[in-house]
Structure 1
Amino acid sequence: MQPFVIAIAGPSGSGKSLFAETLCEELRRDAPLLDVVLIKEDAYYRDQSHMSLEARETVNYDHPDAIEQDLLASHLEALSAGQAVEVPIYDYTVHSRTAETISVSPAPVIIVEGILLLTHRALREACHIKFYMDTPLDICLLRRMARDIKERGRSLDSVTAQYRESVRPMYHEFIRPSVRHADMVITRGGRNRVALDIVRNMLLSVSQQTASPEDAVS
């Protein structure tokens, strides 16, 4: 059957990853025969191995041009056509891709999460339903600080400078306006239990409706 693709978008630190990962865990728990694939838009940040580390640090990573969105769209198209794809691996510590990739096979449910998903027409068209995580910017900033300092080796000064120079301006120019393309807006972050239950039950229902007779028997 053709995969059912959902997009989870919204600002950095809004709870997208937590929501998507929780959704995957609960779908696998409640429907162990249902394959679920999670793809992160961050993996598609452009390869910058041809640039010096100093030059990479000046790139605006919150602008759509920083992400190879056409490649992500083509991968979703291939997965929908039943073809496996090679998803890039991005290393935040050096601001570039590694030489390795991850092989991803088609699955009945594909969840894609990222800050700029809804800014790209082909990505929007590749998704059957689109969600936007609406979390206040001050909360997003606090979460981003904690993550970037702990997980990505960033300094407090670099995180706050990036927020001031690119994160906040790009939020207002690209990310926030993309909410108009969402089918549903989710508040209260990745731990919104009601939203998780609604989306999980919807995907379970879709998987049951599209399952083949052989699957239903087994």
Structure 2
Amino acid sequence: MKSSEYEPQRILVGVTGGSAAGKTTLCETIKREIQYDSDVDMTILSCDSFYKGVDKSFYDISQYNFDHPDSLDFDNAFEVISTLLSGRPASVPIYCFVNHKRLDQCSIMLPAQVIVFEGIMALYDERIRDLMSYKIFIHCDDDIRLCRRILRDVKERQRTVESVLFQYTKFVKRAFENFIEPLMSQADLIIPGHRSNHVSVAFIVNHLKNMAKQNGLLREKLNTLIYFGDLLYSIDGFMRNRTKVDFSNPNATFKQLFFPEENTKPDFLYITQNFVAGKLVNQKQIYKVIKQCFKNTLLMLEKCLQQDKYEIDQLQCVHLDEILSSKFQVKENTQFIVLAIPILFKSGLKKLHQIEEKIKQYQDVQLIVVNVFSDIKTITDINWTFKKLRIYVNAFLVGKLDKFFSIMNVSSQSEPESYYKQDKFFQKLKRFIEKRQTKKN
């Protein structure tokens, strides 16, 4: 499914098993483990997203068989999976299990190096199965699956115990025997779903990492350098790798820069440790952390330019609103458009993609993104989906978004916008670049 000679071969993994066998739990565990200490990105696509809507005026919902293959739109699923494997974002339908209908809006899923398609019918369609590099079947005792299904459907899907038992005896059990259990012969690996699968998860994660390495998914993306800055801790509290990186090695996957602790004031280190622990309630203290992050981020940008031997007068600092306007013009001799983005999470990538499309008309111009806060998922998406991005500077890597939201007093229902302190950060970055340019001239 390579779209060009530079695009790596993405890996599609199928995970199937009976209802409530533990498929979603296994996939989430694999995703957490595979992204913990590697740059392999993974996304999970649920088979449940492709249920066909049910017209209640024609069907008695209690008599509708959701466990039959005809209830799923495999054509749409095949189209979405093919799009993701080709390296392009795909529109995934959103299904409401309460009203048994698809919502009007869709979710946008970005391509990843490892794409997992999970569900009771994940291995049923031959076209999708042929695209898979690895197929997993979770085998679990029927009684355990029934107990889990009752708890799940009553709590999450607003069903009654009676309706769950009726559906299970009439449809679910029969569908498992006729359509799902025979798929066991198609699986590359069969694992138990009635207990913690630490050994199985470790085996799968190591296998996927080896496949990714063989397919070239662990190599550095063409023409892109990514720099991480780390203020002692990431938000989820574990120490990141602080070993020195050999910048002379051109095959290094990531080039990392760390803020040296000896150059950071002791009171700031104390505040930072409390900041990531979620103990700060004083807005003045939080602002002090952000201000120090801004300062160190600008210094990191200068260090990046020096190491890669770029000239400061090749940079043009542009506001996010300005670059998307019809009046935007690139100055003469500009080779890099510099964007100041204080906070960037996955929801903000859409605007960044629009900006990249905008500057494609300037063939020799590339992007530099100077960012303070972002999450691991966004970092990985940036590394593999942007072609014009040359340098990405990040000061603070966020591991757990919910904890970050609470610290920054942001509602957990919505991710913070890229415009958080946008104007102030843009002015700081612009003055920083202009000052360096004036000093050189």
Asked if these proteins are the same fold (TM beyond 0.5), I'd say: yes
Letter of the structure 1 residue corresponding to residue 120 of structure 2: I
Partners of 2:40 and 2:217 within 8 A in 1: no
Given the superposition, is the C-alpha separation of residues 132 and 63 from structure 1 closer, same or farther in structure 2, using an over 3 Å criterion? same
The CA distance in 2 between the partners of 1:214 and 1:41, in whole Å, is 32
Three-state SS of the structure 1 residue aligned to 2:15 is strand
Q: TM-score, normalised by structure 2?
A: 0.47
- Between 1 and 2, higher relative CO (CA 8 Å, sep ≥ 6) is seen in 1
Higher helix share: 1
CA separation in 2, counterparts of 1:109 and 1:90?
A: 23
Q: Distance in 2 between matches of 1:18 and 1:52?
A: 35
**Residues 155 and 213 (structure 1), Cα distance of their counterparts in 2 relative to 1, 3 Å cut:** closer
The alignment of Structure 1 onto Structure 2 pairs a total of residues equal to 216
Determine the structure 2 residue equivalent to 1:168: 173
1:114 aligns with 2:119: yes
1:13 is matched with which residue?
20
Question: What aligned pairs does 1:194-209 form with structure 2 within 5 A after superposition?
Answer: 194-209=199-214
Q: Which amino acid aligns with 2:79?
A: S
CA contact (8 A) 1:14 1:133 kept: yes
Superposition deviation, residue 115 in structure 1: 0.2
Counterpart in the other structure of 1:129: 134
Task: Give the aligned residue type for 2:46.
Answer: K
Q: Is the 8 A contact 1:14 1:190 kept in 2?
A: no
Shift of 1:191: 2.6
Counterpart in 1 of 2:10? 3
Counterpart of 2:367 in structure 1 is: none
| Secondary structure at 1:34 match in 2 | coil
In the alignment, the residues of structure 2 paired with residue 89 and residue 189 of structure 1 have an alpha-carbon distance, to the nearest angstrom, of: 29
Distance 1:213 1:28, change over 3 A: closer
Unaligned runs of 5+ in 1: none
> How far 1:212 sits from its partner (Å)?
6.2
Q: Which residue of 1 aligns with 2:146?
A: 141
Deviation at 1:30, TM superposition (A): 2.0
Partner residue, 2:45: 39
- How far residue 188 of structure 1 moved from its aligned partner, in angstroms, is 3.6
Identity score, percent: 30
Q: CA deviation at 1:122?
A: 0.9
**CA drift at 1:189:** 3.9
> Does the aligned pair in 2 maintain the 1:16–1:190 contact within 8 Å?
no
* Contact 2:9-2:217 at 8 Å conserved across structures: no
Aligned position for 1:22: 29
Q: 1:101 to 1:47 in 2, by over 3 A?
A: same
Deviation, structure 1 residue 2: 2.0
Listed as ranges, the matches of 1:41-120 within 5 Å are: 41-48=47-54, 50-52=55-57, 55-120=60-125
Cα distance in 2 for partners of 1:164, 1:171 equals 11
Equivalent-residue separation in structure 2 for 1:11 and 1:66 (angstroms): 16
Structure 1 vs Structure 2 CA RMSD: 1.7
**Is residue 40–residue 218 contact of structure 2 (8 Å, CA) maintained in 1?**
no
CA deviation after TM superposition for structure 1 residue 174, in Å: 0.5
Consecutive unaligned residues in structure 2, runs of 5 or more: 1-7, 222-250, 255-441
Please tell me whether the aligned partners of residues 20 and 38 of structure 1 are also in contact (alpha carbons under 8 angstroms): yes
2-side partners of 1:67 and 1:193: how far apart? Answer: 32
If the length of structure 1 is used for normalisation, what is the TM-score?
0.93
